[in-house]
Amino acid sequence: MNFPLKNIILFLLLIVTSCKNPSASPDMENNILRELEHLKTGNLESAQKRKRLGQLYNKTPSIQKDSLKNQALLNISFQYLLLEDSVKFRKINNQAYKLALKRKDSNQLALAYWDLAVFYYNNNIMDSAYHFLNKTRKIYELLENPYRSGRALLDMAIIQKNIHDYTGSEVATIKAISFLKPLEEYWYLYRAYNNLGIVYKELEEYDKSFSYYQTAGEYLDKTGRKEKYPSLWNNIGVMFKNGKRHDQAAEYFNKALSYKPVDIEIENPELYAMLLDNRAHNRLKMKDTIRLLEQFDKALAIRKKEKIVAGIIVSRLHLAEYFLFRGDSILAIRNALRAKEIAMSSQD
């Protein structure tokens, strides 16, 4: 049987086109999404995870349903965010954003904005982080989603606190609480009241600060997250130290450092170093200098090992204060200058 040449050419073109743009079956689409979910909780090494993410990303054009494609892109971009691959995160997040915008999918648009906010926060670009969180918050309020509205507001409040906008932080936190309290979201309520405790500590309203920390503790009790108590007690200790109530500060620092359910020296060395340094600084304020240098040095060594730049600066400043108290102006100046050098270099 003879076929016309044009029919043969058309047939071949159809084969080539179908090979270039294969459509994923519904089962394959679901498998892609399931594997992406598994990657969130799996224990793959970073290199293996990157490789598999790249393979899954290459399959996304074959996903027929745009909502599922958008979901896959958001998931992949977020995984790259966790891997601190800013190039791939920004590229794929932008694709997810454009697809959500085209589809007018408010939920997925909000997620793209929120991931961008996390990216900027992690890179210490607070104005951009706040900007995208605000976009997220507006969408969720229009969608009447109190849970995500409250969370976005709380993250905005924490940024405001970090940039010393304490009044703005207080207002945003109280609004976040109004969304989260009816939902009994104990973890986020703990974080909200803890943030208010920090805000009022910075405003030197120590009684209000302590009251909010106590409320934070009540919500923390309800979460069952025992590993977070040392962090809360550290905050209370700092509040008392700043308020010159050094005996009470010592009580909370000692309580945190001797907490048995969690070995913070192993599990959270950053917090452990912070507690050591804060307790030592509190003792310096009490003029108790017995083996104090050893404690300051231990905290500094941990911070150096963990590359905690902000912590190293604080350690150097506290050491400068210690040596000044001991009358050693040379070492005091040396540590103060070293703190300044590190601070300036970290801003480059």
The residue to which tokens 């102006």 are assigned: 329
The residue to which tokens 């943030």 are assigned: 195
Dihedral (Cα; 172, 175, 179, 185), 10-degree rounding: 60
Residuewise pLDDT in 10s, the chain (348 residues): 454 555 544 444 444 444 444 555 566 777 787 888 777 777 778 888 899 999 999 999 989 899 999 999 999 999 999 999 999 999 999 999 999 999 999 999 999 999 999 999 999 999 999 999 999 999 999 999 999 999 999 999 999 999 999 999 999 999 999 999 999 999 999 999 999 999 999 999 999 999 999 999 999 999 999 999 999 999 999 999 999 999 999 999 999 999 999 899 999 999 999 999 999 999 999 999 999 999 999 999 999 999 999 999 999 999 999 999 999 999 999 999 999 999 999 875
Q: What pLDDT does residue 27 have? A: 66
The residue to which tokens 């190293």 are assigned: 312
The answer to whether 159 touches 133, Cβ cutoff 8 Å, is: yes
Report if residue 92 sits inside a domain.
no
Distance CA 325, CA 304 (A): 24
Radius of gyration of the chain (CA): 26
Q: What's the Cα-to-Cα distance from 108 to each of 76, 115, 140, rounded to whole Å?
A: 13, 11, 11
The residue to which tokens 């010592």 are assigned: 250
Extract the tokens encoding 267.
Answer: 């599990």
Domain count across the chain: 1
List the CATH number of the domain containing 346: 1.25.40.10
Report if residue 346 sits inside a domain.
yes
Residue 116 per-residue DSSP state: H
Distance CA 285, CA 206 (A): 18
- Outline where DSSP puts E strands in 69-228: none
Report if residue 276 sits inside a domain.
yes
Domain carrying residue 336:
241-348
Distance CA 90, CA 123 (A): 13
Distance CA 53, CA 76 (A): 7
Neighbours of 55 (CB within 10 A): 11
The residue to which tokens 């210690």 are assigned: 322
Backbone angles phi, psi at 73, to 5 degrees: -65, -40
The answer to whether 230 touches 279, Cβ cutoff 8 Å, is: no
Distance CA 8, CA 334 (A): 84
Report if residue 326 sits inside a domain.
yes
Extract the tokens encoding 259.
Answer: 């907490």
Report if residue 293 sits inside a domain.
yes
Q: What pLDDT does residue 7 have? A: 52
The answer to whether 191 touches 173, Cβ cutoff 8 Å, is: no
Residue 244 per-residue DSSP state: T
